[in-house]
A and B are shown apart, each in its own frame.
Chain A
Amino acid sequence: MPQKLKNNPRKLNTLKKTQSGIKGLDEITGGGLPKGRPTLVCGAAGCGKTLMAIEFIVKGILEFGEPGVFMAFEEKAGELETNVSSLGFNLAKLQKDGLLRVDHVHIDKSEIEETGEYDLDGLFIRLGYAIDSIGAKRVVLDTIENLFSGLNNQAILRAELRRLFGWLKDKGVTAIITGEKGDGTLTRQGLEEYVSDCVILLDHRVTNQISTRLLRIVKYRGSLHGTNEYPFLIDEEGISVLPITSLMLNSEVSSQRISSGIPALDNMLGGQGFFRGSSILISGTAGTGKTSLAAYFANESCNRKERCIYFAFEESPQQIMRNMRSIGMDLQAHIDKGLLEMHSARPTLNGLEMHLVAIHKHVKRFKPRAVILDPITNLITVGSISEVKAMLIRLIDFLQTEQITVLFTALSLNTIVTEQTDEGVSSLVDAWLLVRDIESNGERNRGMYIMKSRGMKHSNQVREFVITDEGLDLVDVYLGTDGVLTGSAREAQQLLETTTKVLRTHAISRKDLEIQRKRKVLEAKIASLQEEFESVQDELSKSYVEEDLRKEIMEKNREELIQNRQTKNTGNVKK
């Protein structure tokens, strides 16, 4: 919206505007109040008119260097100083520095006697002197209608007021005139007739015992402006108006993925987790671990050194921290490091709008990357379904433009899986996880599945969601003949499987042994046969050798015989 407005001045003679410095007001007025013209701020008693006026002056001095004159017809300067000191406005110092003049106009009918024609020149001179003495650019008249209770001659007053507003325009000061809401009119004395450039109506409405402050721009001559009723908040920092309705769906998107803190869940979400800046809804029946899931997500954000705000509408931060410690998560450590903030408030503390405003403020200040609302169901107690939906739409819009991931938890009141959550936000969110009880075999177990997850591959499986001392985990459920097995049935099934496996292994090893034994027998047989063969071979070879030996010996003997015979013959001859 601001960028759009920056482009505007190229038009000829656009209305010049003075930034009010009030958070959000400049956005809905498209840049501020009409410069050099009076603006009427009207509303019933106690709706914040004086505060808005004084903030306009103080912010003008502090942020825009424009000195201001505050003319109080109701409160004395001292009272005013005390009243706004709680907002951190030091009027005394500003007055001393010559940037502010507070002039209390005292008018008491009992002291005054009207004796003929008169005019309000005294007021003009006073105001003119105050403006000129500090070079004021901003003027507040709070509440000028009090003149009507002090002076009788209405004709003169009306004529003089008309002159006053004209005179203020001539002076070129941007003025706020406050006026009490009248019966059927915007102000009791019909000031809107005179101040016709810009009229802002403040309202303080109580529905279902819950009050909401609302601001509406009734008219703004020569300028575009937001026409809705915008809730605003008065707190220790003053007024914040929040133009929360985003007109267009054109926020940036990120394709960066962030982990849910549970690896098994990330696996179900295409292995990487959620998209950054997306909105996630976890719905489920009571006691299904929604808060634990949310806390896990917060914990994971903090582990990534990203800031996270946790808004709890049911439990106190201490309670959540204690409970999370039981599943092995230390959130206190993150709080100490300044990465995590927890805010608890009963939904009935404020109206819906106020919650939204409070969330806005915290988000703007803390600049988290992730926001958790736990649970949104309770907001129903302070508004109708359509109001809650409208609020959540605005919240999602706001957080998406800021690229903040938001996680809601919602309680579904029945165990039947409905296509619609109570708050009707399921169509708005990017990812919807459902945690539900699965009751079988006399026990309840938690089952989780992903109803939707825009823009990513995700598992269609039901997983069992287990919470242990070590934390959360998702386990595959068993699909048996009786349907889905969870809890002890799943464990029994797991045991059964393990047993079968052991038995099988055992059987296999026995068979192996037999084979080995058989082999050994076989090998023994082979060995004996071999030996038998060897002995036969031995026997055979032995006969060969014997024969050879015999042959050899016989040969030898024959030769010896021959020799012996020859020797005998020769001996005879010689004799």
Chain B
Amino acid sequence: MQKSEEHAGRKEHSQQHGKEYVLRLYITGATPNSIRALTNIKELCEAHLQGRYYLEIIDVYQQADIAEKEQLIALPLLIKKTPLPEKRLIGDLSDTEKVLKGLGLKL
């Protein structure tokens, strides 16, 4: 029950922002991979999704308990929550082709 409410809350949250793309990026502090992933996604979003996205960045080190909840293994991890289907992209997001495919921006 609690979980579904949480989900509902999140949806509300995304609707509040009214953004088409809700992305969540899990990073681990200031590791090179994390920094690269962050720069890469920001560049990508600005280039392709300007104004249409909401990007949440979570430092797993700060919230160790979510690692289990969110089934985190390989990091950095980018989760595309909406539009459906949900997609998980791991790595520093340097393979732009793959990232765009993963985000459904390119076929």
Contacts and interface: CB of A to CB of B under 8 A. Distances in A.
Interface of A: 103, 105-107, 111-123, 125-126, 128-130, 147, 150-151
19 contacts: A103-B68, A105-B71, A107-B71, A114-B89, A115-B94, A115-B95, A116-B40, A116-B93, A117-B91, A118-B75, A118-B76, A119-B33, A120-B75, A122-B77, A125-B61, A125-B72, A128-B64, A129-B64, A150-B73
Contacts of A112: 74, 88-90
B64 to A, nearest CB: 4
Contacts of B33: 116-119
A153 to B, nearest CB: 8
Given A115-B90, A125-B67, 4 more contacts: A106-B71, A113-B89, A120-B75, A129-B67
Contact of B90 (A105, A118, A128, A130): A118
Nearest to B60: A125
Interface of B: 26, 28, 31, 33, 36-37, 40, 60-61, 64-65, 67-68, 71-78, 86-95, 98-99, 101-102
Given A116-B95, A129-B68, A122 B88 contact: no
Contacts of A119: 28, 31, 33, 74-75
A125 B37 CA distance: 19
A111 B72 CA distance: 13
Contact of A120 (B40, B61, B74, B92): B74
A105 B73 contact: yes
A128 B31 CA distance: 18
Contact of B99 (A115, A118, A150): A115
Nearest to A106: B71
Contacts of A118: 33, 74-77, 90-92
Contact of A116 (B36, B60, B68): B36
Contact of B98 (A103, A115, A123, A147): A115
9 residue pairs, one from A and one from B, having the closest CB atoms: A122-B72, A116-B91, A116-B94, A129-B64, A116-B92, A126-B67, A115-B91, A118-B91, A121-B28
Contacts of A121: 28, 31, 60, 75
Contact of A115 (B28, B75, B102): B102
Interface SS majority for chain A: mixed
B86 to A, nearest CB: 8
A252 B65 CA distance: 58
A115 B87 CA distance: 12
Contact of A113 (B37, B60, B71, B87): B87
A117 B94 CA distance: 8
For B33, B75, B93, which residue has the most chain A Cβ atoms within 10 angstroms?
B75
Nearest to A157: B74
Contacts of B92: 115-118
A159 to B, nearest CB: 13
Nearest to A101: B68
Nearest to A103: B68
A120 B93 contact: no
A530 B46 CA distance: 167
A125 B86 CA distance: 23
A398 to B, nearest CB: 46
A117 B89 CA distance: 11
A222 to B, nearest CB: 32
A90 to B, nearest CB: 21
Contacts of B78: 115
Contacts of B89: 112-115
A114 B99 CA distance: 9
Counting chain A CB atoms within 10 Å of each CB, which of B26, B60, B68, B77 scores highest? Answer: B68
Given A129-B67, A129-B68, A130-B68, A122 B94 contact: no
B11 to A, nearest CB: 20
A531 to B, nearest CB: 137
Contacts of B91: 114-118
A134 to B, nearest CB: 13
B38 to A, nearest CB: 12
A106 B88 CA distance: 13
B88 A111 contact: yes
A117 B76 CA distance: 9
A246 B74 CA distance: 49
Nearest to A107: B73
Contacts of B93: 115-116
Nearest to A160: B74
A121 B27 CA distance: 9
A113 B88 contact: yes
Nearest to B72: A122
A123 B93 CA distance: 19
A568 to B, nearest CB: 184
Nearest to B70: A122
Given A118-B90, A122-B26, A125-B28, A113 B72 contact: no
A117 B27 CA distance: 13
B98 A122 contact: no
A116 B36 CA distance: 10
A117 B77 CA distance: 11
Contacts of A129: 64-65, 67-68
B92 to A, nearest CB: 4
A184 B21 CA distance: 49
Nearest to A151: B74
Contacts of B99: 113, 115
A102 to B, nearest CB: 10
- Among B26, B28, B67, B99, residue most surrounded by chain A Cβ atoms (within 10 Å): B67
Contacts of B88: 111-113
Contacts of A123: 72-74
